[in-house]
Amino acid sequence: MTTPLLKDLSLDALRDALRHEGVAPYRAEQIAAWVYARGVEDFDAMTDLPAELRRDLGDRFRMRALEVDALAQSEDGTLKARLATGDGEVVEAVLIPEERRTTLCISTQVGCPLACSFCATGALGFRRNLSTGEIVDQVLRMRELLPEGRSLTNVVYMGMGEPLLNLPSVIESIRLLIHPKAFALAPRRITVSTSGVVPKIAPLLDVAPINLAVSLHAASDAVRDVLVPLNRRYPLAELIRTLRELPALGPRRPIFFEYTLMDGVNDSLEDARRLVKLLRGLPAKLNVIPMNPHPGAPYRPPPPEVAERFLAELARGGLRTTLRRPRGRDIDAACGQLAGAASSGRFVKTSLRPSEEAVRGVL
């Protein structure tokens, strides 16, 4: 039997485990502060814990779930890491530095079962869900790559996998991200993206007032059935009705919609008008992202004038829209396109431990 990973335990579960051993449950928060707030992974360094407890923890738990295996840095500063799991799988995480914030995009599954036709991860198929510890370890490993003075401000669940198909681990990871003694991120700094796993949306939003992003990509079932095959199970009308009925949402809590613009597929004026109609009355913010082409996907971004015409039509319809520049285009770092790049040779293999100075200064 493999040694359990400490980061797979929720704080409640850790408290229970300690209580079971006759240790005061408040020690769980001390341990969380060391591991998640300070990034200390050596039990011996947790100096406010009794020596016997440190020894006992070291005997019972392993600490690291992931190791940085390779790095790729974009000209725009985006930094992608390939992270190896203990059982030989790989997932990817991407740091996106901007002027006023630093966003980390993390994965929730190895591969993805949903097979969206424009997505390199989908083309890989599904290997397995990530555990809670493997999800939060992406945050720890990537945070170690930040240069002095820069801190992580936002976490988006938009990497490999469909988060709502791994809901229990995603929920526990969010609880750790927002716990004041752990990562202490404000819920509004966290965004979970879904392709529309309808029955899991409300349970996710019950956890905390985080942001929801919906990978929409089409405003008709005919097109969405092809781009996002999950649409055949949960068609647009059902998805949008579910979003309209979410109790916690209001104008102060927008829903983000992602729309990858593809040449000749979903970029017509008719598509724009359908989109306006579909989202009318929702607190919608639409992010339009020109397709980041990659080998294997039969889609291309539209010419700039087509994208402009599309956006102008959305504006005319009163939809709040942002045109997003794909980040890390040169390293295939766009969310949902991570795995395709894994075989593209753009990674630089590294044997460095992330704490080493050599990987600093890359942002």
CA angle centred on 131, ends 125 and 135, rounded to 5°: 90
Enter the DSSP assignment of 80: E
The least CB distance from residue 32 to ligand SF4, in Å, is 30
The least CB distance from residue 36 to ligand SF4, in Å, is 26
Question: Measured between alpha carbons, how far is 178 from 188 in angstroms, rounded to an integer?
Answer: 10
Which residues on neighbouring strands pair with residue 6, listed in sequence order?
none
Q: Looking at beta carbons only, is 230 or 314 nearer to ligand SF4?
A: 230
Q: Looking at beta carbons only, is 119 or 205 nearer to ligand SF4?
A: 119
Record the tokens describing residue 274, joined without a space: 């359908």
Q: Looking at beta carbons only, is 57 or 93 nearer to ligand SF4?
A: 93
Q: Which of 1, 17, 16, 11 is nearest to 57 (CA)?
A: 17
The least CB distance from residue 121 to ligand SF4, in Å, is 4
Q: Looking at beta carbons only, is 7 or 200 nearer to ligand SF4?
A: 200
Q: Which of 241, 165, 256, 258 is nearest to 211 (CA)?
A: 256
Q: Looking at beta carbons only, is 23 or 130 nearer to ligand SF4?
A: 130
Residue 40 burial by Cβ neighbours in a 10 Å radius (0-12, 13-18, 19+): middle
Task: Provide DSSP, 290-321.
Answer: E----TT----PPPHHHHHHHHHHHHHTT-EE
The least CB distance from residue 107 to ligand SF4, in Å, is 9
Question: Measured between alpha carbons, how far is 4 from 244 in angstroms, rounded to an integer?
Answer: 41
The dihedrals phi and psi of 162, each to the nearest 5 degrees, come to -105, 110
The least CB distance from residue 293 to ligand SF4, in Å, is 15
Residue nearest to ligand SF4 (CB): 122
Q: Looking at beta carbons only, is 9 or 155 nearer to ligand SF4?
A: 155
- For residues 73-96, one letter each, b for 16 or more C-beta atoms within 10 angstroms of the residue's C-beta and e for the rest, the string is bbebebbbbbbebeeeebbbbbbb
By CB under 6 A, name the binding residues for ligand SF4. Answer: 112, 114-116, 119, 121-122, 160-162, 195, 215, 336
Cα–Cα distance list, 240 to 147, 172, 243 (Å): 41, 27, 5
For the annotated catalytic residues, the residue numbers are 92, 335
The least CB distance from residue 194 to ligand SF4, in Å, is 8
